[in-house]
Structure 1
Amino acid sequence: MASPDVDNYTLFHRDVTAGQGWMRMPFPIEKPCYPAKELVNGHTYEFRLTGSNRAGESDPSNTVTVEPMAPAPSTAPDRSTSGPERTTLSAPPAPSGLRAEPGDATVQLRWAATSGVDNYTLFHRDVTAGQDWIRMPFPIPKPSYTADQLVNGHTYEFRLTGSNRAGESGFSPTVTATPRKPVPAAPSGVAATPRNAEANLCWMASPGADAYTLYYRDVTAGQVRQRMPFAVNGTCYLAKQLVNGHTYEFWLTASNSSGESGLSTPVTVTPRS
């Protein structure tokens, strides 16, 4: 029944048979009717609702319980004298070929299209956080899906089922992926200004970089390239204790939790008094 002053409804549900906790649907429902799909026949489900408007969200409604069941098979006509027998629709096989490609707080999932499948259901868990398996509350019609809003550096597991009007398949093999930030590009626009026994270095910020590392060598002294033992957090650095009249080369790299970039284009500077 429609509630006065309600702009949208939110559905909460759980699979009692599977011991699932309450799950909140990630999208609002505008009308006082909603078909819950991709359920498991024979499992008991509980549902409840809240209503919301610009002022806030209501308390939950009363809880209702339902157990979906497959329809009774229809009686096939007698084809003993002519024509092929009509086959009964059966639940599809488990999806195969699932693969995961990690990105920045995302994992791109793809799998082989499965014959007889109307929709797929994704199950996932954050292994690093010790999370239990979570069933996605909505179906996936195509054999691909991008899992987003993940935590970089956490390891996730994914698996699938396929379903049609006759029921739901078993699970696909499980795949694992760890999303990470992309390694930043090498710094650009590096410039060096000579001073008395010093050189002031500045560069353009590299998107996604958390810190920078300076490499240098004294060309006049025939020195090999050396790495500074500490990171630089800003986009400028004053190199001190240089020898006036000596020529120096400097390079930079950018880094984050995923790794370190390649070297920037070198710059040359000769400090003088």
Structure 2
Amino acid sequence: MGRSKRLIGIALTAALAVVAVSAAPAAAAPAARIMVVGDSISQGAEGDFTWRYRIASHLVAAADFVGPWTGTHVLPADHTDQSSSHHGAYRAGIGFDGANLAQWGWQMHQAKAVIGGNVATHDPDYLLVELGFNDLGWGVSDAAGLLADFEHFVAAARAAKPGIRIAVANVPHRTPLDVNPGLPALITQYNALLAARVPELSTATSPIVLADVDGPFDEYTDAYDGLHPNVRGEHVIAKAFADRIAGGFGLGGAYGPVPASLPADLTPAAPATITAVPVGDKVRVSWAHSFGATGYEFWKRDTTTQGTWAKGVFDIGADSWTDDWLPAGHGFEYRVRPVRGTATVGGYSPVAAAVARPMPNVPNVAATGNPGRPWTITISWGAVAEADDYHVYSAPGCDLNVPAPSAFTEQQWGLGGKTSWTQELVFEQCRNYKVVASRYGGLGSLTAATTVRAYPVRS
């Protein structure tokens, strides 16, 4: 090869190298690290898609969700377990990067104390904050106090990461509550304060934008209980955040309209099994977990009195309940029905039966006449630990045979913890007595009760 050809070859090789380098794909921008900070509206209940899933599906690879928790809230097995749960499943068939800092029942007043540590640990670039309903609804803070807590929250987050970007939602109104008639006005007041304060708190280094959730969220059509989002409400909240971070931060694009065709809201199935076991003077009722239930109607009836089914005043927030204040010796039947907020109710479970522990026999029953009080008989007895009352029965007769239980009539009750009672004006030659203990209106056995006989002293 001649010198000119060698030079041409070298030049061609260099040119191809340049083309190859130029043709290499540009490195993908790192995904934005997002931490959702919220309460039950954001954590979601077992079986929810959650608005977190909806916005994650919208942002796709542009976002990496971070935080200490991953699951939805699921009812505990035992009603005495008040600890928060983050192990609930989402709607069947979905999976996503669900890391978050959202917890059922959470308040801004609580979150402000831990946000700095969580920002330092999980290093989010963006915070999507949905908090405040529980502060106002539970009387933790008034509107001004909640705003002050949000300012504290922002300061703590910025101390951990000065360039943090924050999208904060206002508080959605809920359907009216008779127990808190002033709540709507309080929410409106806070939302106005927040809207005015956000631009003042925002800086070039750490911008803050307001996501208007309250405006588009219709508590009558977008919630399954007047507050927590249903399948439509999840889209409404996701859209409020997505459109705001797209416009305010350039993160992602517009969400688009809420879909017209949506999956059906979840209806929890009836528990397949239920048991009722006496425990002391109570009955512990347990049932199989119903997926997606946010509580259970608790139904029972007293079979001893042939009572009708009655529903408990409150729904049970667990897969069990210990029934108390039961009349001793009465039989009961139980059944439960799962609910999901106030919008959907599942079917009844099977029926379980149990008998409340009967009262023991009253010990040391005695009846005596008193020469100092003619025509009277004093009946005394030993205390029964579980008794809240005693009932005294008597029957006439001086035969060697004890009168049948049907011959005894009730003479006195309402004695509380007393262990004696004196009957006046006893004119028979002799009288037979029985004493039975009671608990919550349930009596001991008259048939098994000890019979004593007394002879009144004549004047």
Q: Report the TM-score, using the length of structure 2 for normalisation.
A: 0.33
Partner of 2:223: none
Structure 1 pair 152–121 and aligned structure 2 pair: CA distance change class (3 A): farther
Larger relative contact order (C-alpha < 8 A, sep ≥ 6)? 1
Alignment partners' CA distance in 2, 1:177 and 1:124: 15
The aligned counterpart of 2:361 is: 186
Structure 1 pair 122–152 and aligned structure 2 pair: CA distance change class (3 A): farther
Q: 2:433 maps to what in 1?
A: 250
**Secondary structure at 1:148's aligned position in 2?**
strand
Aligned equivalent of 1:108: 285
Structure 2 Cα separation of the partners of residues 102 and 260 of structure 1? 20
Partner of 1:7: none
Q: Does 1:59 align with 2:114?
A: no
- Higher helix fraction (1 or 2): 2
Letter in 2 for 1:125: E
Deviations 1:224-258 (A, max 9, x none): 633125424132110121237x2221111222345
Residue in structure 2 matched with residue 164 of structure 1 by the alignment: none
Task: Note closer, same or farther for the CA distance 1:198–1:135 as it changes in structure 2 (3 Å cut).
Answer: closer
User: Over residues 116-141 of structure 1, what are the superposed CA-to-partner deviations in whole Å (9 max), with x where a residue is unaligned?
Assistant: xxx9989522453454x6554xxxxx
Please name the residue that 2:192 is paired with: none
Instruction: Answer yes or no: is the 8 Å Cα contact 2:437–2:444 preserved in 1.
Output: yes
Contact 1:50–1:59 (8 Å) recurs in 2? no
Equivalent in 102, 105, 110 of residue 47 of structure 1: 102
How far did residue 48 of structure 1 move?
3.5
- What are structure 2's unaligned runs of at least 5 residues? 1-37, 51-72, 112-128, 132-168, 170-230, 232-268, 300-310, 339-345
Identity percentage over the alignment?
Answer: 12
Deviation at 1:176, TM superposition (A): 5.1
Corresponding residue number in structure 2 for 1:268: 453
Task: Compute the RMSD of aligned alpha carbons.
Answer: 5.4
- The residue type equivalent to 1:218 in the other structure is P
Q: Confirm or deny: 8 A CA contact 1:213 1:232 kept in the other structure.
A: yes
Q: What is the deviation of 1:214?
A: 1.8
Higher strand share: 1
Q: Deviations over 1:8-44 (max 9, x none)?
A: xxx963536599xx99994558xxxxx8212233599
Whether the aligned pair in 2 keeps the contact of 1:188 and 1:203 (CA below 8 Å) is yes
Indicate the residue corresponding to 2:142 in structure 1.
Answer: none
Q: Secondary structure at the match of 2:286?
A: strand
Shift of the alpha carbon at 1:208?
3.1
* 1:38 and 2:88 matched: yes
- C-alpha change, 1:97 and 1:179, in structure 2 (3 Å) is same
Letter in 1 for 2:384: S
* Amino acid in structure 2 at the alignment position of 1:211: D
Deviations 1:63-96 (A, max 9, x none): 489x9xxxxxxxxxxxxxxxxxxxxxxxxxx897
What do the CA deviations read for 1:151-170 (whole angstroms, capped 9, x no partner)? 7589864368xxxxxxxxxx
Per the alignment, residue 297 of structure 2 pairs with 125
Amino acid at match of 1:47: A
1:148 partner letter: T
CA contact (8 A) 2:433 2:452 kept: yes
Cα offset, 1:270, TM superposition? 1.4
Larger radius of gyration: 2
Q: Partner amino acid for 2:359?
A: P
Structure 1, gaps ≥5 residues long: 1-10, 30-34, 52-56, 68-93, 137-144, 161-170
- Secondary structure at the aligned position of 1:60 is classed as helix
Residue identity matched to 1:241: L
Aligned residues: 203
